[in-house]
Amino acid sequence: MSRKKVNLYPGLPPRLRPFTDADIVCGVDEAGRGPLAGPVYAAAVILDPRRPIDGLRDSKKLTEARRDELAPLIKEHALAWAIAECSCEEIDSLNILHATMLAMRRAVEALQTLPTIALIDGNRCPTMDVRAHAVVEGDDKVHAISAASILAKTARDAELVRLHALYPQYGFDQHKGYSTPLHLQQLRAHGPSPVHRRSFAPVRSLLQADFFAEPEGFPA
């Protein structure tokens, strides 16, 4: 009895796939484009068809507990995986789009197995030597991208928990740097930390307000 072939790309019918069975395919996704603080992360994953992983999907549609269960399985079962980041300083210097593309390229280049094509979540691809193809909503269509989504998200969440230990007044462990009411409240109360993105509007406006504020005792 022949073994059923696992479809690692359930959202991509064979006629639409930009690769062949001879290609080494990696999935690439990012985490942390929107937050006001912390690095942006990206991951690249080459799955092993012989070692399927149940439950792969867009990390945003999984609970934190489920992501934490899947991340070590992905690392154990994948043929290759890598995680990379771009710092807050790079985000402010390059802008968030270019920093995200750079983090994705770093993740692909860090893979120990060189892929022949990278499937990128979204509608843009980073500039790199490996052939790339953008897949809109790929994190919920292509298992390799789903796996990359999970690794990037869990790595970034772990980093924000670490940053919480350094700057506990902001509550990074709760909101992971996103612009929640709690985060905005603490940001206004304490001002930006060294890990806030100064090019993002809520942070930039606070810095500008502080810069133009009149010193205490300044005459009206």
**Cα–Cα distance measured from residue 145 to residue 85, given in angstroms and rounded to the nearest whole number:** 17
For residue 165, what are the contacts with CB-CB under 8 A and spacing of at least 6?
none
Mean pLDDT (whole number) for 72-81:
97
The β-bridge partners of 100 are: none
Query: pLDDT value at position 12?
Result: 75
Tokens, residue 90: 């790079």
How does pLDDT run across 135-172, given as a tens digit for each residue?
999 999 999 999 999 999 999 999 999 999 999 999 99
Q: Give me the residues paired with residue 33 across strands.
A: none
The first and second tokens of residue 128, run together, are 């790199």
Q: State yes or no: pLDDT of 212 exceeds 70.
A: no
pLDDT at 37 over 80: yes
Is pLDDT at 6 greater than 60 in this prediction? no
Q: Which of 150, 1, 22 is nearest to 74 (CA)?
A: 150
Residue 77 φ then ψ, to 5°: -95, -20
Q: What angle do CA 63, 66, 69 make, to 5 degrees?
A: 155
Tokens encoding 36: 């006001």
User: Are 205 and 36 in contact, with CB atoms under 8 Å apart?
Assistant: no
Cα dist. 40→14, 77, 90, 107, 212 in Å?
32, 25, 10, 12, 30
Determine the Cα–Cα distance for residues 95 and 184; give it in Å rounded to an integer: 21
Reply yes or no on whether the pLDDT at 214 is more than 80.
no
Token output for 206? 């606070």
Tens digits of residue pLDDT in 40-67: 999 999 999 899 999 999 999 999 999 9
Q: Which residues make Cβ contacts (< 8 Å) with residue 10, sequence separation at least 6?
A: 141, 142, 143
By the 10 Å C-beta count (0-12 exposed, 13-18 middle, 19+ buried), 167 is classed as: middle
Alpha helices in the chain (DSSP H): 64-77, 88-94, 96-109, 143-166, 172-175, 181-190, 201-212
Q: Please state, for a pLDDT cut of 70, what percent of the chain lies above it.
A: 90
Q: Are 45 and 164 in contact (CB under 8 A)?
A: no
